[in-house]
């Protein structure tokens, strides 16, 4: 089609691309063409190790031509892959040419994304062997910050973050052991989502500390990050580290924990970061969630164990043999860090002493964060790349002050933008929760991001880029129906959204189970009425689903008194002012009623009159589990 490149926004998001695809405005090939142009412009920023090319992307574009976008929620969405995650389209180097190998199969997360229709582009730069938080420890060059090239990009997932920030990809996979999926997000004004340990498979990932490694995602919005989560989450039978940890619908915590002592700030912008944190604190305190000021000492103590305790020996166990055999191929400061794991202090007795102390800290953290979320700065400062070269170990250690504790304590985290500390100097906070309470982190993150005062951060970021070329058991506080972000209203509320608060528009949730879901023909109706996807979930086990004899075919959801099942559907959020006009378009025998979800809440959604099941040509499809699942067969 030859879509005009100037019409593409710098920030590529899933809803924008899907709308363009569905309307026929452009094709995945057009998008790839624009991405290749941008990659060429930014070649000197050292973002990619194996950059996208027409030849490498062609097989995946061809596959999309034969695929049904209706059954692929990420159809045509381009993504980047950190080069310690296996993709059969390129070698895996882990930032070390001598280590390179060509994988026989994709990493589990990559395979799941491709199955969902996502378009792999190439492999991104990283701190060698994912050892670093700065983005400068690579023989492939120092990755430049997306907004100010003289600053560090953050690491170790440096290329992945900058690829998204520079518009080379909609989202990118990183890894996160000590903060590598969060620090680069903060320094490049992105969302960095780190799921709970084991929630996403790590099979096919070069280990840093295998017991602590996570795959993570960078995106411009939390919604895009969670769309990726929906495609890759779940146990993998071949991955010994994976575990079943479903993510429930977003909800607010009962408490917001903030440190009772001011965090320490560092680097040349320390005072600007301090002011940005104080501003973020005021925003957090104004959210309406009860605030508790807590002693954050346990998190600092846990963080100290990562590189000051025997866990550094786990890195040596994974890579020591290679380092000893290829000393000349290892980046000097990386080799220094890895060799510290061979220190004679790290005996078996020292390991168990540290593990026992960590277990006590985990218990303390779980008690503190029961039904709560902790907020900290993602970084306490940043550095120029020149300053980093002068102090490579100390400056890197500073970057992990508020991140290193996370995986050791079995926490999940969302790093989110929180404004700017200066011109082209983004500031971010991280929200932490226990492994089983990702829903609370997501709920608070959505609320915080919705309260962006004046929308100042995004225009500034755009200007700089242009200039530079589980269910209800977690005890969470339900977000009330008249809250500006109606994420999960209590089942007992009389209306799904009341009057706006602070001038923010009232909304209602809408459950859809057929052609209005993502990737199906009527998704554009949802977008036309201003609806935003929230989550994929399942109904209570009290429904049957039929296939109506219509053209195009569509499902009908019927509540039954016995013989029901749980069926998969999607929940969207729609402005209340649009809801009436949307509902008026629905033809019989379909209509809007209350749909009961698995957690007992009831939301407005598509239901079907029972008489339709007696019509000629109707087929009971309950056993399929849902309309999308039926189409995927």
pLDDT at site 519:
87
Q: What is the pLDDT of residue 505?
A: 65
Which residue matches tokens 């795959």? 215
Q: Which of 138, 156, 216, 624 is catalytic?
A: 156
- Going by DSSP bridges, is the β-strand pair 507-512/568-575 parallel, antiparallel, or unpaired? antiparallel
* pLDDT given at position 5: 53
Write down the pLDDT at residue 500.
43
CA angle in degrees (0–180, nearest 5) for 350-305-296: 135
pLDDT digits (tens, 9 = 90+) for 267-291: 999 999 999 999 999 999 999 999 9
Is 180 known to be catalytic?
yes
**Distance between CA atoms of residues 455 and 413, nearest Å:** 24
Residue 567's contacts (CB-CB under 8 Å, 6 or more residues apart) are 513, 538, 539, 543, 545, 557, 622, 625, 626
Specify the pairing of strand 191-194 against strand 214-219.
antiparallel
From the list 188, 373, 226, the residue with the least C-alpha distance to 292 is 373
Query: What CATH class does 5-256+372-471 carry?
Result: alpha beta
For the whole model, what pTM was predicted? 0.78
Per run of 10 residues, the mean pLDDT along the chain (length 633 residues) is 65 94 93 97 98 97 89 95 98 98 98 97 98 97 97 98 98 98 98 98 97 98 96 96 92 96 97 97 96 96 91 93 95 93 93 96 97 98 96 96 98 98 96 96 95 42 32 39 32 35 68 94 90 91 93 93 92 90 89 90 92 90 93 82
Task: Look at residue 459 in the predicted model and tell me its pLDDT.
Answer: 34
Structure confidence at residue 467 (pLDDT): 29
Do residues 266 and 382 touch, judged by C-beta distance below 8 A?
Answer: no
The third-level CATH classification (topology) of the domain covering 507-631 is Hypothetical upf0131 protein ytfp (3.10.490)
Q: How many CA atoms lie within 13 A of 513 on its CB side?
A: 36
The residue to which tokens 């997000």 are assigned: 185
Q: Where in the chain is the domain with CATH 3.90.1300.10?
A: 5-256+372-471
- Measured between alpha carbons, how far is residue 400 from residues 294, 304, 337, 532, 570 in Å? 20, 10, 14, 34, 37
* Residue found by looking up tokens 């020591």 in the block: 320
Q: Residue 501 gets which letter from DSSP?
A: B
Span between the terminal Cα atoms of the chain, in Å: 32
23 labelled catalytic? no
How far is the C-alpha of 53 from the C-alpha of 470, rounded, in Å?
41
List, by residue range, all CATH 3.10.490.10 domains of the chain. Answer: 507-631
Instruction: State which H helix or E strand residue 6 sits in.
Output: none
- Looking at residue 126, what is its pLDDT? 98
* Active-site pick, 138, 153, 180, 216: 180
Identify the bridge partners of residue 151 per DSSP, sorted by sequence position.
Answer: 384
H helices, E strands: number in the chain: 20, 19
Mean pLDDT of all residues in the chain? 89
82 catalytically annotated: yes
d(CA 485, CA 501): 10
CB 180 within 8 A of CB 125: no
Sign of CA dihedral 135, 444, 532, 589: positive
**β-strand pairing of 171-176 with 78-82:** parallel
Q: What DSSP assignment string belongs to 604-633?
A: EEEEE-GGGGGSTT-EE-GGGSSHHHHHT-
pLDDT digit string, tens, across residues 95-149: 999 999 999 999 999 999 999 999 999 999 999 999 999 999 999 999 999 999 9
CB-based contact 91:100 (threshold 8 Å): yes
- Helical ranges in 482-560 per DSSP H: 523-528
Q: Which residue has the tokens 């029961």?
A: 370
């Amino acid at each position: 089609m030859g879509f005009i490149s100037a019409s593409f926004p710098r920030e590529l998001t899933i809803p924008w691309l899907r709308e363009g695809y569905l309307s026929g405005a452009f094709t995945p090939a057009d998008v790839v063409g624009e991405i290749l142009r941008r990659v060429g412009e930014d070649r000197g920023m050292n973002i990619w190790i194996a950059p996208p090319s027409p030849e490498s992307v062609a097989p995946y574009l061809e596959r999309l031509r034969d695929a049904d976008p209706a059954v692929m929620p990420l159809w045509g969405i381009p993504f980047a892959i950190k080069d310690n995650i296996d993709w059969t389209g390129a070698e895996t180097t882990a930032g070390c040419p001598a280590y390179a190998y060509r994988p026989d199969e994709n990493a589990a997360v990559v395979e799941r994304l491709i199955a969902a229709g996502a378009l792999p582009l190439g492999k991104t730069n990283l701190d060698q062997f994912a050892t670093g938080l700065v983005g400068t420890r690579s023989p492939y060059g120092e990755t430049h910050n997306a907004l100010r090239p003289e600053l560090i990009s953050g690491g170790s997932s440096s290329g992945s973050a900058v690829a998204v920030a520079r518009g080379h990809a909609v989202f990118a996979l990183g890894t996160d052991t000590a903060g590598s999926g969060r620090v680069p997000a903060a320094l490049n004004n992105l969302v960095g989502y780190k799921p709970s340990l084991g929630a996403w498979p790590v099979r096919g990932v070069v280990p840093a500390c295998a017991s602590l490694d996570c795959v993570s995602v960078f995106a411009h919005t939390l919604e895009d990050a969670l769309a990726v989560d929906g495609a890759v989450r779940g146990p993998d039978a071949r991955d010994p580290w994976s575990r079943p940890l479903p993510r429930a619908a977003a909800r607010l915590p009962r408490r917001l924990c903030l440190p009772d002592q001011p965090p320490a700030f560092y680097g040349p912008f320390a005072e600007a970061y301090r002011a940005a944190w104080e501003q973020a604190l005021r925003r957090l305190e104004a959210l309406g969630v009860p605030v508790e000021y807590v002693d954050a000492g346990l998190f600092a103590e846990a963080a100290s164990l990562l590189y000051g305790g025997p866990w550094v020996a786990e890195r040596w166990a994974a890579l020591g043999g290679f380092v000893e055999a290829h000393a000349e191929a290892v980046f000097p400061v990386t080799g220094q860090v890895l060799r510290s794991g061979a220190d004679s202090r790290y005996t078996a007795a020292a390991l168990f002493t540290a593990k026992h102390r960590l277990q006590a800290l985990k218990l303390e953290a779980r008690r503190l964060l029961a039904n709560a979320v902790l907020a900290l700065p993602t970084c306490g400062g940043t550095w120029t790349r020149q300053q980093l070269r002068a102090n490579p170990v100390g400056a890197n250690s500073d970057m992990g002050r508020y991140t290193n504790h996370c995986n050791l304590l079995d926490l999940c985290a969302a790093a989110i933008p929180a404004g700017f500390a200066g011109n082209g100097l983004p500031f971010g906070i991280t929200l932490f929760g226990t492994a089983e309470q990702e829903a609370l982190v997501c709920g608070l993150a959505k609320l915080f991001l919705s309260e962006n005062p004046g929308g100042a951060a995004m225009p500034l970021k755009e200007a700089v880029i242009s200039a530079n070329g589980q269910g209800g058991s977690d005890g969470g506080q339900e977000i009330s129906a008249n809250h500006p972000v109606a994420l999960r209203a209590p089942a007992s509320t009389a209306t799904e959204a009341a009057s706006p608060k602070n001038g923010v528009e009232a909304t209602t949730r809408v459950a859809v189970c057929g052609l209005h879901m993502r990737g199906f023909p009527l998704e554009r109706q949802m977008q036309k009425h201003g609806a935003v996807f929230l989550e994929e979930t399942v109904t209570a086990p009290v429904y049957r689903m039929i296939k109506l004899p219509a053209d195009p075919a569509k499902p009908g959801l019927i509540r039954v008194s016995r013989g029901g099942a749980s069926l998969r559907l999607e929940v969207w959020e729609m402005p209340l002012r649009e809801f009436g006009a949307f509902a008026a378009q629905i033809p019989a025998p379909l209509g809007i009623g209350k749909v009961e979800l698995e957690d007992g809440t009831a939301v407005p959604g598509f239901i079907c009159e029972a008489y339709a099941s007696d019509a000629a040509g109707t087929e009971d499809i309950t056993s399929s589990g849902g309309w999308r699942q039926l189409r995927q067969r």
